[in-house]
Every structure is written in C-alpha cells, then in structure tokens.
Amino acid sequence: MANFSNMVRCVFLLTTLFVPIILGSFIEKPGPRYPPTKGEVWPKPQNQVKIGIRMAFEMEQFQFKIVGNNSPLIDEAIERYSFILSLQSGRKHQRKPSNRRMKNERRTRLADDDLVMKVLNINMTGQDEAWPSLQMDESYWLNIDDVTGNLISASPWGILRGLETFSQAIYRGSPLSKDLFINQTLIYDFPRFPHRGLLLDTSRHYTSVTKIIKMLDGMAYNKLNVFHWHIVDDQSFPYVSAKFPTMSQLGSFTPDLIYTPADVQRIIQYARRRGIRVMPEYDTPGHTRSWGVAYPSLLTQCYTDDKPNGDYGPMNPANQDLYPFMKDLLTEIVDVFPDKYVHLGGDEVEFDCWKSNPEINAYMAAMNITTFTGLEEVYIQKIVDMVRDLGAYSLVWQEVFLNGVKLPPGTVVHAWTGNQQILMYNITSKGFPALLSTCWYLDHLSNGGDWQKFYNCDPHNFPGNEEQKKLVMGGEACMWGEVIDDNNVLQRIFPRVSATAEKLWSAAEVNDMEEARFRLEEHYCRMNKRGIPAQPPSGPGFCV
Amino acid sequence: MANFSNMVRCVFLLTTLFVPIILGSFIEKPGPRYPPTKGEVWPKPQNQVKIGIRMAFEMEQFQFKIVGNNSPLIDEAIERYSFILSLQSGRKHQRKPSNRRMKNERRTRLADDDLVMKVLNINMTGQDEAWPSLQMDESYWLNIDDVTGNLISASPWGILRGLETFSQAIYRGSPLSKDLFINQTLIYDFPRFPHRGLLLDTSRHYTSVTKIIKMLDGMAYNKLNVFHWHIVDDQSFPYVSAKFPTMSQLGSFTPDLIYTPADVQRIIQYARRRGIRVMPEYDTPGHTRSWGVAYPSLLTQCYTDDKPNGDYGPMNPANQDLYPFMKDLLTEIVDVFPDKYVHLGGDEVEFDCWKSNPEINAYMAAMNITTFTGLEEVYIQKIVDMVRDLGAYSLVWQEVFLNGVKLPPGTVVHAWTGNQQILMYNITSKGFPALLSTCWYLDHLSNGGDWQKFYNCDPHNFPGNEEQKKLVMGGEACMWGEVIDDNNVLQRIFPRVSATAEKLWSAAEVNDMEEARFRLEEHYCRMNKRGIPAQPPSGPGFCV
C-alpha cells in the first residue's frame, strides 16, 4: 500500500504537471470549423471555369426547357429537380408569381443583382436509352454564362448528371436569407471510372424498401451509378424467388422481412430513372447458410467423428442436383435484374466442413480433385459458365481469381482485402477488369471524420502499365449489414460514401483534402436539405 | 520492374495460400447472432427471483391501480406506460373488449395460459416529491407472483423505476404473434450509484428540443437519472439568457438555433417527470470563445509581437468586470435550473494566450501569482465560491482538482481522461466525491459492438478503502457534439449508453458480457419499438 501511495503521489505530480501541457490549444473559434462553400459541386467536375459573375435564381422566374431530343427520363428528372430547387428556396416552383406581394418582394430582394437566371436549355443530342449500363455516356456540358444556360449531352444519363450539377451550383446567399444565387460557370464533365458503386448488405439486417429508395436518392446526389445489392447471405434470404418461394418463406428473418418481386422492380425502376444500375449478388458457394433452411441438401453437412454434427457448410458441389437448381435460379435472376452483370460472390469459403464430409471426399477422389480450392474452382467454373451461357457477365470476389478459377474474359474481379496494390496489379496483369473496395468499407469505423481515410484511396494507385490501368472499372463502397439497420444505415453511408464518389468521378488530380473539406460540408448540408440524414463529416457546424 | 514482378509473384503465392486460411470459419448460422431474450430487464435488477410460471398479458384485461399515496408523477407515468404497453401489443389500452370478435379472439389465443395478469397495485408508502435529486430514493419492490402484482416504493422515483421494470418484463411470445406474456418474478431493486448521467454537448452542433426529448425517453428506459447539459462551448452559445440575451443573439450558430427559456423549462419538466435531473454546464474559463462574440472583454486578447493578434483565449481573470458578470449569470442559472448541482467545467484551459497578454502578466505580478495554473485557481476559486454562496454545489472537470484549487467540501470532481485508477484514487483520497466518464466517451468509435468496451468499465475499479469507494457518486457517458447532429445523435447514444447504464445501476457482480449480449439485443429492439432509433449492438439480427 505504501508503494502504491508513492507511485500515486509520483503520477499525481506528473499528471499535475503534464495535463495542461498535453491539453493545450483547445480554444476553438466560434462557428463551424469548416464553413461550407457556396454552390460548389460534389464530386468536383473534371473541367470547370468560373466566370466570376453572380446571378440571382428564383424558381418562380425560372424554367427548364427541352431543346434537343426528349426522353421520359429527362421529363421525370425535370420534375425532380424542380422540386429539389423549390425545397432549397422554400417556395414552390411556379412560372408566374401568384400575387402582387410576391412581385414586390422579389423586386426588393433582387435589387443588388442585375442578372436573374431564366432558362436552362436541355439539349440531348443523341438517342434516348432506357437502361443504364457500364457503357453509358455520362458526359455533359453545362454552360451557365448568361441568364439562359445550356446543358448538353449525347445521352439521357449525361443530362441526369448535368441536372444534378446544375442543382448543386445554386446556393443560398447567407444562412439567414432564402435568396438563391448561381455563379456563372462553364463545365465539361465526365466520370473518371464507369463503375461507381455502393454495396448494401440486406441479409445481416433487413433494410426497408423506403430506406433503399432514399439511399438511391443519395447515390444520385453523389453521381454513383451502381447499386450492388448483396441481397442474401448466411443470416437471411429476403429475396422472394418466383421459382423457389420457400427460400424466403423459410429463410428470411420473418415472413415480412422480404423483398417481393414488386419491391425489387420498384427499386430497379427507381434506380433506372436516376441512371443507377442494380447489380444483384447471389454469393456462393459460401455465405449460403440461409439457402439451406428451405433446401438443406444444397449445403454440405459438417461431420464430427464420422457423424453429421448438425451444422452445415458451403454448397455441396458433390450433389449433382445443385447445378440444375443454380441454373434455374440464375435464369430467374438474369431475367429479374436487367443489368448485364451479376455478382457471384465466391468469397470466404470454409473448407473445414468440406474436409469433414465423406461424400465430398469421395467425390474429390473420384474426380481427381486434390485441393479444396480445386473443388471450389470446379463449382465456380460451372456457375460462371452458366451466367455466360445466359448472356450475362460475372463479377467475383478476389478469392475466385486467387484460387485460379478459369474465368471467362470480361469477368470482373472485385478486390476487397489484403494488399490493394499487389492485388490490383495481379488482377489487371492477367487481363481481367478490376473493381476496388479494399479501402472503402463503410462498416469500418474510426473517430470523427473518417471519410478522410476513404478520400486517400485511388484505384489507380498500383504499379502497372496503361493497359492495366484501363482495366480498372472503378470501385464500390461497401455497407455490410452486421451493425446497421433502418435506424442508422443512411447516416453511416452518407456523407462518408461521398469521399468514394469523388475519387471515382473526379480527375485523379482532385486529392486536396483541405479544399475538399469545405465542399463536403456544403454537400452534407445539401443532402440533409434533400432528406438524406447525412451525418457531420468534419467537426462543429450547422446546416440551414 | 523485374524485382517488383518477383515480389508480386511471391506475395501472390502467399496470398493464395493464406487467404482461405485467414478467412476460414465465416459460415454463420441463419437468423440473429444473439437471439433476444424475452422479458429480461435492462439494467439488470439487483435482486430477482424467477418463479417459473408464465402469465398472459393483455392491455384490455389489465389495469394499474393506485393503492398507496398518490403523486401526479405516478398518474402521468401510468398514462405513459399504458401507452407503451399498447404499442407493444399493437392494441389500445381499454378495460373492456369493444366487441364479440375480440372476446373470441382472446379466448382462443389464451387457451394455453390459465393465468392472465389483471392488476398491478402501485403502493407508494412515503411522501410525494416534486424534484429528483442526488438523494432521491429509487429503490422498489416488484412482486409479480399472482394475477395481481404489487409495486412498492417509498418514493415516486422508485415507482417510476419499478414501472419501467414492469413494462420490460412483458414480452411477445414469438416474433410472429402479438400475444404478450409476463413471467412470475420477485424483484427488489435499487441503483448501485446515485448519479447515472448522460452528457450531451449542444454547442458543437445544435440538437433540437425534439431530439433531446427523445433522448430523455431513452434515458428513462435505461434508468439513467442525470442529463448533464453541456449547453454552451467555444463554437456556439445557444442558451438564451434572460439577463444577457445578446449572448445567444450573437453567439449562437444562427438566431434560431437556440434554447429559449420555454425550451429549457420544457426539457427540465419533461426530465423531472421521468425522475431525471437536468444539470447544466457553463464551462469556464476555457471553452468560452462563443461568449466573447457578444462580450469580447470577457476574454483574454492573445498577443503576437506585443500586439493583439485578433484571437481570443480563455476568460480574462484580470478584468474585474468579469466577476459581477459571472455572478449575474450564475444567479440566473441557479434560478433557471432547479437542480442543486451546477457543472462549472474548468477543463482544457489554454495558457499560451494568457502568457502572451501584458494585462494578464501585470495582473499576475501585482497579485503575486507565479503560475498559470495559479491564475486559473484564482479564477475558479471565485466562481466556485459564488456557486456555494448561491446555495448550490459545483462539479468540476478533473483539471481543477489537479491544479490544486481549494474546493469547498462536497464539490464533485469529474474524471474524463488519463489513468482512471490513479485519478479516482487521488480524488477520493482527498475526500472529494468523484464522477467517472473516462471510459464512457460515446464519440469514441470503434468497429461494430463497441458497447463492450463501455461494459468493461467499473467506477470502483481503483485501489482504495471503503470510505473512498463511497465517495464515487457514479458516472456519465459523454456525447460530445463534434460529429453528431439531429441525424445521428440518438443512434450514436443508444444502445451504447445502455452499457454504461447497467454498470451504474446493477450490482458489481453483473459483468458477464456473454449473458448481457442477449439481454441487450432485446433491449435494443425494445427501445426501437418505443421510438428510440437505437442501432444494432452486436451483429446480425432483426426486431419485430
């Protein structure tokens, strides 16, 4: 006790001496740490010239005007952005002022600004398209150098991206005023990578359709274009299959925590109208425990002491009924999801259970398969071939590539763990398209503004030649479902995913974190204003 | 390049070999990782006997009955818990079935259960009280050993805690059924520590009154009893002072991000009705930058090269106008907040600015003060004495104690950083009451279920004698405001704060994390059901 007291006394003294020193410099300025920018665009456009002239903007005096080819996508987008701009101004979009008071009010408010934005001409020069795809053209010109502006793109997708940019360029003059402005600017913009995704896992927790819809809104505000729907996994099977309805009846958490065919179509259509592809993932042969609730024979029985122990492992590749089942299911999936790409998973396959099972061992001996990676290869090869035969392309997690499965050309390899540089080098050096997620795991938390970690990651950051770099299709932020549910899924995604979005859209040279902070603060407030509960990115502040 | 290729090949091989090994055992069982318990109480009662008989529970057949002394607090609580139980059963609380169908339905559903809970007698044996306090008696007996149960307490606060326990003991029979049950049980319960707090910082971001109200609901569901309102700080001054209204007019983020006197009273009353004290913090002499927007002369001007550099540091203790100002403000605060305790802060005082200022140096020379901790002592001593003269008690952050300020007996020292054991030992060995927050910083994030970290912390975990242990009043979880706003504040607090709540209420022996997981899963779902957007604590699962 005496010794302890001495130690205490000593540390007491040390603490007394050092606490004020260690804790110095904690005085902060009043107000936000990073005041938001005004009318800056996120992700940052590839090319932007700022003219230095400010124009007033009022929905009552403004109209979108279609001057090129038309598209239902554009009509709907005009409706949406009219609403968004009305939200921003706190007034409804109406071409004619409804009464004298309003007219007077307007005259007073605009006294300082000679120029008032009148029209945005929307000029789609190419043909309409119905479905977004990996090949879609998202480039656009946005010229706001007069009270009549011009938005030009060859495709409806470029028009959608340009409208988003236009809506972001409009800003409030001050926190206390509802007056809106837009700065004259010339923009030529296009994405750096064609695949800019967000993975959502709806198996570990169920995410409601309402929240998925909100998430798609948020994706559009960040120019993300692929919703990678990790729809089923070990824990639950919420996908309602028309061919195998018992899978969700028995394999979902509860019979109402499901995605009906109508839900799935609603999500696909909602995404389509925002230029977002919906790419489903049916992860096999691991991560399939919930599949076995309805169909136990799909899975491998695990053995202890030469007896089944009641546990199930990965799919049972020795069961020849498995392949017709998978073909039926994949045929349905390729039919339900219009996108040309299906993610087949293939990650984290557990070999212990295969090892324990006599049927598997007998099958391997008969087929002359000597390793479990070899067994996995045999299975995945068949599945990948099925997808190819159905006219679709596959994506697989990195393990499939690392295990040496003979992938058809064009199969995308998705990097998620390990050394990013080496892996991206390896994938592309073998000529496969690559997708990066390693540095963008949204479930990995750290204190405060951990978007910074995401912002410091570049998919081209690996040694390799030009051909290899071209094989990088982009990347995805991953929102795994272990510790998210409807209460926090959107807060956890936004605005952290915005960092990923900018790295995937903007030029490689856009990597100044300090410049980005202020824009991200505006973008966070912008998303809030539009109903996305994005959380504060970088410290003290407020949104108006 | 050749070398790199070799390295790549080597690591490729290593990766191929090790990835499946490292990543093995990823097969999960279907369903939730930790299935929720049924009708278990959080925080765990001090004494509970389970009788092993299940009774049915239906709001239509049930009533609360006051058999002892009455209190408006109890009347209101009965209303609240009737509503909560109706929510749970999905039916409204009504004594008589409204039609025949319902009667039949009930008969069918209850066929398996002979016993149906009829009445909870509420017996307050002591006098009514209006305000919760550090000394309030929160102990209660809850005996559910027949269709008529008894809740007994000497005080309204014990009745409130007992009603919360009763409401938690009622559970759904299965996810797919709305039938409710309660297990017969005998409970004698009381808190381990009298001060079980939650700090919310409303200066770094403004939290709306609506969210604070929700937070108070959530606190009541966790038997937390002190809302430590860190209401102002460097960044903003949202508190509307009747005496000094310009402080919020100029010092808040915007003129509407404020707490009016009516807001403050609403929050105090709402908390009071739930047995929650509202203890405000007006942190000085540091953390006061926003005070200086309206009254710059309160603060120290920082100097560079013998000239004011435009920055301001801590309060200016050389300015003798400061003390009448503080006395006026503290008089108002003690009047506005009925609780006997005021938190005076005193943490993280920056000495560099004081050091640079000639007025401060002259004052120190004149007063024969040789150190800046000495200067801080002079200031804090005056403030602490003011509070004592106003008939209230002070709490201060640990620095004030470490700097050797002569604190009046009963001043509470609040530990927040450094070595918890040594600090708690030191504070209590000097005879001061201590409050622990070091291990309960809600803004410190880590992956997934980081409530575990909070659960592993015990305020008595320091060497010291019985007298010292008795000086530990409890602790507080701290929700600092840098990266929370209305979008995520409740999600971030709940259910992580539940871990703190259990450590502060339940017996020291309640520390089995594995047992707690299952109860916490039920508690998280329970809070969700009641409108608190608590996030998933421990992995895959669902709430019904």
Which three-class secondary structure state does DSSP give residue A11? helix
- Per-residue DSSP letters for B350-396? -HHHHHH-HHHHHHHHHHT--SHHHHHHHHHHHHHHHHHHTT-EEEE
Listed range (A82-91, A213-222, A313-322, B72-81) with the worst mean pLDDT: A82-91
Give residue-wise pLDDT tens across range A83-117.
Answer: 999 888 754 434 343 344 444 444 444 444 589 99
Substitution target in A14, A352, A487 with the highest count of B β-carbons within 10 Å is A487
Task: Tell if the CB–CB gap between A483 and B449 is shorter than 8 Å.
Answer: yes
Q: Which of A301, A384, A310, A295 is nearest to A345 (CA)?
A: A384
Substitution target in B12, B15, B22, B27 with the highest count of A β-carbons within 10 Å is B27
What is the reported pLDDT for A88? 80
Distance from CA of B449 to the nearest CA of A (A): 7
Task: Check whether residue A173 and residue A138 sit in a common domain.
Answer: yes
Q: Which of B487, B535, B534 is nearest to A528 (CA)?
A: B487
Task: Check whether residue B516 and residue B490 sit in a common domain.
Answer: yes
Range 187-206 of B in CB contact (< 8 A) with A: 203-206
CB atoms < 10 A from the CB of A209, how many?
16
Query: Are the C-beta atoms of residues B74 and B124 closer than 8 Å to each other?
Result: yes
CATH classification of the domain holding A482: 3.20.20.80
List CB contacts of B436: < 8 A, sequence separation 6 or more. Answer: B415, B420, B424, B457, B459, B472, B474, B475, B476
A357 lies within 8 A of chain B by CB? no
Cross-strand pairs, A143? A150, A186
SS3 percent helix, strand, coil of chain A, rounded to 5, is 40, 20, 40
CATH classification of the domain holding A181: 3.30.379.10
The pair of structure tokens assigned to B496 is 């992580």
Distance from C-alpha of B468 to C-alpha of B340, rounded to nearest angstrom: 23
The pair of structure tokens assigned to A222 is 């960040």
Give residue-wise pLDDT tens across range A453-511.
Answer: 999 999 999 999 999 999 999 999 999 999 999 999 999 999 999 999 999 999 999 99
Distance from C-alpha of B401 to C-alpha of B376, rounded to nearest angstrom: 11
Which residue carries 């106008």 as its tokens? B321
Query: Are the C-beta atoms of residues B477 and B440 closer than 8 Å to each other?
Result: yes
What is the reported pLDDT for B35? 95
Q: Is residue A5 part of a domain?
A: no
Question: What is the ipTM, given to two decimal places?
Answer: 0.89
Distance from C-alpha of B456 to C-alpha of A357, rounded to nearest angstrom: 41
Task: Check whether residue B185 and residue B243 sit in a common domain.
Answer: no
Q: Which of A181, A135, A167, A189 is nearest to A502 (CA)?
A: A189
- Per-residue DSSP letters for A91-102? S---SS-SSHHH
Query: Are the C-beta atoms of residues A375 and A397 closer than 8 Å to each other?
Result: no
Q: Is residue A32 part of a domain?
A: no
Over chain A, what is the mean pLDDT? 91
Pairing of strands A393-397, B63-66: unpaired
Q: Is the dihedral of CA A175, A176, A180, A186 positive or negative?
A: negative
Q: Which domain holds residue A334?
A: 296-408
Q: Is residue B123 part of a domain?
A: yes
Start-end of H helices in A135-185: 156-169
Task: Tell if the CB–CB gap between B533 and A487 is shorter than 8 Å.
Answer: yes
Query: Are the C-beta atoms of residues B394 and B384 closer than 8 Å to each other?
Result: yes
A483 lies within 8 A of chain B by CB? yes
Rg of chain A over Cα atoms, rounded to whole angstroms, equals 27
Q: Is residue B133 part of a domain?
A: yes
Q: Tell me which amino acid residue A218 is.
A: G
Range 15-34 of A in CB contact (< 8 A) with B: 15-16, 19-20, 23-33
B443, B487, B491: residue with CB nearest A447: B443
Catalytic residue among B129, B332, B348, B350: B348
Distance from CA of A495 to the nearest CA of B (A): 12
Cross-strand pairs, A64? A120
List CB contacts of A484: < 8 A, sequence separation 6 or more. Answer: A205, A207, A443, A492, B535, B536
Last residue of a domain, one of A408, A431, A457: A408
Q: Is the peptide bond before B537 cis (omega within 30 degrees of 0)?
A: no
Task: Check whether residue A309 and residue A195 sit in a common domain.
Answer: no
Query: Are the C-beta atoms of residues A373 and B20 closer than 8 Å to each other?
Result: yes
Tens of pLDDT, residue by residue, chain B (544 residues): 344 444 444 444 444 444 333 344 466 889 999 999 999 999 999 999 999 999 999 999 999 999 999 999 999 999 999 999 988 875 443 444 334 444 444 444 444 458 999 999 999 999 999 999 999 999 999 999 999 999 999 999 999 999 999 999 999 988 778 899 999 999 999 999 999 999 999 999 999 999 999 999 999 999 999 999 999 999 999 999 999 999 999 999 999 999 999 999 999 999 999 999 999 999 999 999 999 999 999 999 999 999 999 999 999 999 999 999 999 999 999 999 999 999 999 998 889 999 999 999 999 999 999 999 999 999 999 999 999 999 999 999 999 999 888 888 899 999 999 999 999 999 999 999 999 999 999 998 876 558 999 999 999 999 999 999 999 999 999 999 999 999 999 999 999 999 999 999 999 999 999 999 999 999 999 999 999 999 999 999 999 8
Task: Tell if the CB–CB gap between A404 and B16 is shorter than 8 Å.
Answer: yes
Which residue carries 């002499």 as its tokens? B285
B438 lies within 8 A of chain A by CB? no
Q: Is residue B67 part of a domain?
A: yes
What is the reported pLDDT for A449? 54
What is the reported pLDDT for B445? 84
Distance from CA of A359 to the nearest CA of B (A): 19
Up-side HSE of residue B93: CA atoms within 13 Å toward CB? 15
Q: Which of A219, A213, A211 is nearest to A195 (CA)?
A: A219
Q: Which class for B511: exposed (0-12), middle (13-18), buried (19 or more C-beta within 10 A)? A: middle
What is the reported pLDDT for A100? 40
Up-side HSE of residue A11: CA atoms within 13 Å toward CB? 14
Range 305-324 of B in CB contact (< 8 A) with A: 311-314
A544 lies within 8 A of chain B by CB? yes
Q: Tell me whether residue B348 is one of the annotated catalytic residues.
A: yes
Task: Check whether residue A108 and residue A67 sit in a common domain.
Answer: yes
Closest-CA residue in chain B for A348?
A: B23
Task: Check whether residue A258 and residue A202 sit in a common domain.
Answer: yes
Distance from C-alpha of B40 to C-alpha of B182, rounded to nearest angstrom: 10
Q: Is residue B300 part of a domain?
A: yes
Task: Tell if the CB–CB gap between B30 and A293 is shorter than 8 Å.
Answer: yes
Q: List chain B residues with CB under 8 Å of A32.
A: 235, 253
Task: Tell if the CB–CB gap between A234 and B544 is shorter than 8 Å.
Answer: no
What is the reported pLDDT for B84? 95
Average pLDDT over residues A197-216: 98
Task: Check whether residue B58 and residue B90 sit in a common domain.
Answer: yes
Query: Are the C-beta atoms of residues A228 and A199 closer than 8 Å to each other?
Result: yes
Q: Is the pLDDT of residue A529 over 70?
A: yes
Q: Is the pLDDT of residue A1 over 50?
A: no
Task: Check whether residue B381 and residue B488 sit in a common domain.
Answer: no
What is the reported pLDDT for A114? 81
Give residue-wise pLDDT tens across range A332-357.
Answer: 999 999 999 999 999 988 899 999 99
Q: Is residue A179 part of a domain?
A: yes
Q: Is the pLDDT of residue A18 over 80?
A: no
What is the reported pLDDT for A447? 64
Q: How many domains does chain B have?
A: 3
Q: Is the pLDDT of residue A5 over 80?
A: no
B403-427 b/e (C-beta count within 10 Å ≥ 16 → b): bebebeeebbbbbbbbbbbbbbbbb
Task: Check whether residue A246 and residue A181 sit in a common domain.
Answer: no
The pair of structure tokens assigned to A500 is 């990923």
Distance from CA of A473 to the nearest CA of B (A): 21
- Per-residue DSSP letters for B170-186? EEESSTT---EEEEEEE
Q: Tell me which amino acid residue A43 is.
A: P
Q: Is the dihedral of CA A313, A314, A318, A321 positive or negative?
A: positive
Distance from CA of A71 to the nearest CA of B (A): 36
Task: Check whether residue A542 and residue A485 sit in a common domain.
Answer: yes
- Length, in residues, of chain A: 544
Distance from C-alpha of A312 to C-alpha of A275, rounded to nearest angstrom: 40
Task: Tell if the CB–CB gap between B254 and A175 is shorter than 8 Å.
Answer: yes
Q: Is the pLDDT of residue A32 over 60?
A: yes
Q: List chain A residues with CB under 8 Å of B257.
A: 542
B257 lies within 8 A of chain A by CB? yes
Pairing of strands B140-144, B148-153: antiparallel
Task: Check whether residue A333 and residue A254 sit in a common domain.
Answer: no
Q: Which class for A11: exposed (0-12), middle (13-18), buried (19 or more C-beta within 10 A)? A: middle
Q: Which of A241, A242, A229 is nearest to A278 (CA)?
A: A229
- Per-residue DSSP letters for B467-491? HHHHTEEEEEEEE-STT--TTTHHH
List CB contacts of A76: < 8 A, sequence separation 6 or more. Answer: A273
Rg of chain B over Cα atoms, rounded to whole angstroms, equals 27
Q: Which H or E run contains B401?
A: helix B398-402
Task: Tell if the CB–CB gap between B253 and A289 is shorter than 8 Å.
Answer: no
Distance from C-alpha of B287 to C-alpha of A194, rounded to nearest angstrom: 47
Which residue carries 């529970």 as its tokens? B57
Task: Tell if the CB–CB gap between A20 and B399 is shorter than 8 Å.
Answer: yes
Distance from C-alpha of A338 to C-alpha of B24, rounded to nearest angstrom: 34
Q: Which class for A406: exposed (0-12), middle (13-18), buried (19 or more C-beta within 10 A)? A: exposed
Task: Check whether residue A52 and residue A159 sit in a common domain.
Answer: yes
Give residue-wise pLDDT tens across range A274-307.
Answer: 999 999 999 999 999 999 999 999 999 999 999 9
Task: Tell if the CB–CB gap between B349 and A418 is shorter than 8 Å.
Answer: no
Q: Is the dihedral of CA B206, B208, B212, B217 positive or negative?
A: negative
Q: Is residue A20 part of a domain?
A: no
Last residue of a domain, one of A143, A174, A189: A189
Q: Tell me which amino acid residue A146 is.
A: D
Q: List chain A residues with CB under 8 Å of B236.
A: 30-31, 540, 542
Last residue of a domain, one of A125, A160, A189: A189
